[in-house]
Amino acid sequence: MPPEWSSCPPELLLVVDRSSALPLRAQVEHGLRDAIRTARVRVGERLPSSRELARTLGVSRGLVQECYAQLQAEGYLVTRAGSATRVAAGAAAPPASTQPQRTASRLVADFRWGVPDLAGFPLQDWLWATREAARAMPSADLDYGDPRGSRALREVLAGYLRRVRAAAADPEHILVCNGYAQGVGLALHVLAAGGAGTVAFEDPGSPATVRACATAAGLRAVPVPVDEHGIDVRALAATGARAVVVTPAHQWPTGVALAPKRRLALVEWARDQDAVIIEDDYDAEFRYDREPVGALQGLAPDRVISLGTVSKSLAPALRIGWMICPPALTDVLAEHKNRSDRGTPTLDQLALARLIESGRFDRHLRRMRATYATRRTALLAALAEHAPGLPVTGLAAGFHAVAHLPADADEHHVVSAARERSVGIYGMSTCRASNAAAPAHIVLGFGNVGERAVAEGIAAIGHLLTGRP
């Protein structure tokens, strides 16, 4: 669809060479033809007025009018009374590839993990918060500002995280970042510069993200096993790592909470090894069958970098996250953030601050907890009906569950067979450092799947999950 312009004329880059033997009119005609043939201006798109193009090129208006008339006669342009000159239909060259594009088949249900209810995004509240933030924003906030982020957002986040996550949050030591991946990348670069050589991560966990960030920082990444109590701290101590990435409140993807004794052991390991814990507090807002678990950072503010984002609570597209930094690392982290991108968009930060302090963010979370609880119930009911006896874990919080397939199941086959039935499911093998497909587990995300789709999807693949014919 061609862009629609306001009353201001669109710009078009053309170049004329007055030292050339080629007449100016021929140069302008050639430039216009070339712009149309190469789709620099598309079918239906408006060209500058003859007066404006003449002014831009430093030529007479009559010369431009003659060029437009010639190209109209050749079928490149079309002009109607009272309307701008536009590129005619069929004037552009055909695309280089004539191969038909493949269209993705529509899925009955897509149990993709890590995606919240995108249709539940509080758009009207966000628009209200953006307008309020823009209306009250002083002109000085349009400058680059503090590399740690907006003071207003850092103060609001500090209060929110103290209240909801029992974090030892101080606005002076909060750094706003562009989501989880950037936060991990910043942390690992700073730790590598401080002498760390190895970072550990949970297995299963997020090996691809941690390994990519570790490689970029020049670190070696090593996996550490997770059991029903969380990360194995004894195995961690044997790695010689000076940093570890963990998800203590709701382990990704198994769903277990780090046991109290393991929490204390992990903090003791960090102090004994002069190490840093990078805490991913990724979906702690959503819980169902257990008491809330506070942030690990509250136990050891000097040893924990706690990362949070709105990717699960609002939407990944906002790209807003934060780091609660140990006081000794705040300045160097802020300096590295400043060098990497000069900061996170300020207006979005101010809008988020307004959303939280107005109470609309809490209201949204309450609504989404009810939504995810309903979908969780629908998932369990569908599994009970169509995959009876299938063990399912990790449902106490968040919006994903782990289905434990029979011992002889082929995880990859189950995933591909489900896709043939127009249902998207995803194996835990991609969460394992070795990519091993055994034991066969399926991670079922239900955040962005409605109750009806949950029921239809599980009905279509229930026999696959249990190995029934």
Distance CA 248, CA 269 (A): 15
pTM for the full predicted model = 0.87
pLDDT greater than 70 at residue 1: no
**Residue from 303, 277, 257, 309 nearest 201 by CA:** 277
Q: How far apart are CA 3 and CA 376, in angstroms?
A: 43
pLDDT at 168: 96
pLDDT band at 237 (very low <50, low <70, confident <90, very high): very high
User: Angle at which helices 61-73 and 50-57 pack, to 10 degrees?
Assistant: 120
CATH fold group of domain 1-99: Arc Repressor Mutant, subunit A (1.10.10)
pLDDT reported for residue 130: 98
Compute how many other C-beta atoms are within 10 angstroms of the C-beta atom of residue 401: 23
**Residue position matching structure tokens 């920082």:** 217
All CATH 3.40.640.10 domain ranges in the chain, comma separated: 122-358
pLDDT at 94 > cutoff 70:
no
Name the burial class of residue 119, with classes exposed (0-12), middle (13-18) and buried (19+) by CB atoms within 10 angstroms of its CB. Answer: exposed
pLDDT at position 7 is 58
E strand intervals along 242-384: 243-246, 276-280, 304-309, 321-324
Check pLDDT > 60 for residue 98: no
What is the helix (H) or strand (E) element at residue 69, kind and residue range? Answer: helix 61-73
DSSP state of 310: S
What is the mean predicted confidence (pLDDT) over 253-262? 95
CATH number assigned to the domain covering 122-358:
3.40.640.10
With H, G, I as helix, E, B as strand and everything else as coil, classify residue 164: helix
Q: SS3 of 346, please?
A: helix
Are 216 and 208 contacting, i.e. CB atoms less than 8 angstroms apart?
A: no
Q: Which of 318, 307, 410 lies closest to 118, judged by CA?
A: 318
Q: What angle do CA 321, 323, 329 make, to 5 degrees?
A: 150
Kind of pairing between the strands at 304-309 and 321-324: antiparallel
Q: Which CATH class, in words, describes the domain spanning 109-116+363-466?
A: alpha beta
Residue 456 pLDDT class (50, 70, 90 cuts)? very high
pLDDT tens per residue across span 157-184 = 999 999 999 999 999 999 999 999 999 9
First-residue to last-residue Cα distance in the chain: 49
Amino acid at 271: R
**Can you tell me which residue has the tokens 């011992």?**
407
Average pLDDT over residues 417-431: 97
* CATH 3.90.1150.10 residue window(s) in the chain: 109-116+363-466
**DSSP 8-state assignment for residue 253:** T
The predicted pLDDT at position 286 comes to 84
For range 82-97, the mean pLDDT? 75
- At residue 55 the predicted structure's pLDDT band, cuts being 50, 70 and 90, is very high
- Residue 6 confidence (pLDDT): 53
> Which tokens in the block code for residue 154?
């850092």
Residue 396's pLDDT is: 86
Q: Give ranges for CATH 1.10.10.10 in the chain.
A: 1-99
- Alpha-carbon distance of 417 to 42, in angstroms, equals 43
Average pLDDT over residues 201-213: 97
Considering only CA atoms, which of 52, 40, 38, 50 is closest in space to residue 85?
A: 50
For 24-40, how does the pLDDT look when each residue is reduced to its tens digit (9 = 90+)?
999 999 999 999 998 89
